[in-house]
Copies of this chain bind each other. A is one copy, B any other.
Amino acid sequence: MTTQPTQGGFIDGVHHMTMRVYYEDTDTAGIVYYANYLRFIERARTEILRLFGVDQYVLMNAPEEERISFAVTRCEINYVRPAHLDDIITVKTTTTKLRGASIHMAQDIWRDDEVLIKSHVEAACLNAKGMPTRLPKQFVQNARELIPLDL
């Protein structure tokens, strides 16, 4: 019995993705190293993009005129409580803005009913030259079906 890797899903427009804390994530202070929470929330963003129909590996290797990528331009993180080895944590992501060439998300990390991390992330859609470019139409359409908010 094997299981597919965790990918999470939307519940009422909020993406939930649950993961385990491993040794690699912790530091000698006995808690998760502060930069590693950014790895956790990026996994959730990658899974959300996949649900929106964006296969980043395909896009990255597309012909130059169709090649787009997403780059984080700003990130705010509030560290409320630490996570520890073996914790099961859930990244909950709410899309807060979906504009022409950018997407904003609130991404919180929970352990049961305790919030550990509260973050806001802004990402830009870039073309092959690294310049801002419009989000693909199909992406926006898929997003609007999965997140029923008026963004």
Contacts and interface: CB of A to CB of B under 8 A. Distances in A.
Secondary structure type dominating chain A contacts: mixed
A20 interface: yes
A151 to B, nearest CB: 22
A60 B29 contact: yes
A23 B29 contact: yes
A141 to B, nearest CB: 22
Interface in A119-151: none
A54 to B, nearest CB: 11
Interface of A: 1-9, 11, 16-20, 22-24, 26-31, 33-36, 38-39, 42-43, 46, 55-57, 60, 69, 71-79, 82, 84-86, 88, 90
